[in-house]
Amino acid sequence: MAGTTDVVTRPFTVAAGAVKRLPWWVGPITVTAVLVGFGIYVMITILFFARGEYENYLSPFYSPPIGTPSWWPDWLSPAFLVLWAPLGFRATCYYYRKAYYRAFFWDPPGCASKAQQREPRSAENYRGERNLFVWNNIHRYFLYATFVVLAFLTIDTVRAFLPEGSFGITVGSLIFLVNLVLLWTYQISCHSLRHLVGGRVDCYSCVTGGSARHKAYNWLSVLNRQHALWAWLSLFSLLITDVYIRLLLAGVVPDLRII
Ligand code: FES
């Protein structure tokens, strides 16, 4: 398994090595631009555009589709009733925390760089993740909620392979499949899940199912090493899936059938 994962991730590891040779500020600025761009795209589409649904495709931003209570304002998309889980999951993710602390708060802007010496907050004033940021500790609960959302996205992906009610492979269904695989990989490479499965166990032979937990822990650890990669790839795949559905809705591209 480790060998297979290495083959998949090696090009990205090489690319990461090349990125490390860039000036230190390229990373924080790129992260800022991508996260702000993603946030703006999500807000604009769900506030101002129709629900992303085309034939047997439902945009992951709207899944699962649920009804709104009577007090729900008409102008507010029902997508918000679902989005709090995946957005909260990403906002409290250990990797994204590192990324946006550096990108938005410059705290620190780049480790081992001279910029660290110009950090806005000195080391003496650093107080860790307190006050508002203490809420990051509920990451585990977002993890549970996101498993429910992923279950619905899995059903949506099965539906994507059933154009006109019978099995078929289209460009759209492949986009759904890639998105689902990346989302699941991001989910199960989560640091919190790894801790729950085996990281908190001191003695595997002393607990029920210790051997299975140890194997699962090792397996998750392989995926966890590339957690940042899965975080970014799954973010882009979400975006691509929604954009593809909107292009279909607008009649800009046809949904090519392969089988
Ligand atoms: S640590 Fe990133 S999703 Fe849990």
Domain holding 93, by residue range, is: 24-189+226-249
Per-residue pLDDT tens digits of the chain, which is 259 residues long: 445 556 666 666 666 676 667 787 787 888 888 999 999 999 999 888 888 899 999 999 999 988 888 888 888 888 888 999 999 999 999 998 888 877 777 766 666 655 555 665 656 666 666 666 677 789 999 999 999 999 999 999 999 999 988 999 999 999 999 999 999 999 999 999 999 999 999 999 999 999 999 999 999 999 999 999 999 999 999 999 999 999 999 999 999 999 8
**149 within some domain:** yes
Instruction: Pick the closest to residue 249 from 43, 44, 57, 42 (CA basis).
Output: 57
192-227 burial code (b ≥16 CB/10 A, e <16): bbbebbbeebeeeeeeeeeeebbebbebbebbbebb
Which atom of ligand 1 lies at the shortest distance from residue 139's CA? 4
**106 within some domain:** yes
**245 within some domain:** yes
Nearest-CA residue for ligand 1 atom 2 is 93
**141 within some domain:** yes
DSSP single-letter state for residue 110:
S
Q: Which residues pair with 53 in a beta bridge?
A: 58
Query: What total of structural domains would you count in the chain?
Result: 1
pTM, full prediction: 0.86
Ligand 1 contacts (CB < 6 A) are 93-95, 139, 190-192, 227
Q: Which of 147, 190, 194, 230 to mutate to test the pocket of ligand 1 (most atoms within 8 A of CB)?
A: 190
Ligand 1 geometric centre to CA of 55 (Å): 33
The H or E element containing residue 251 is none
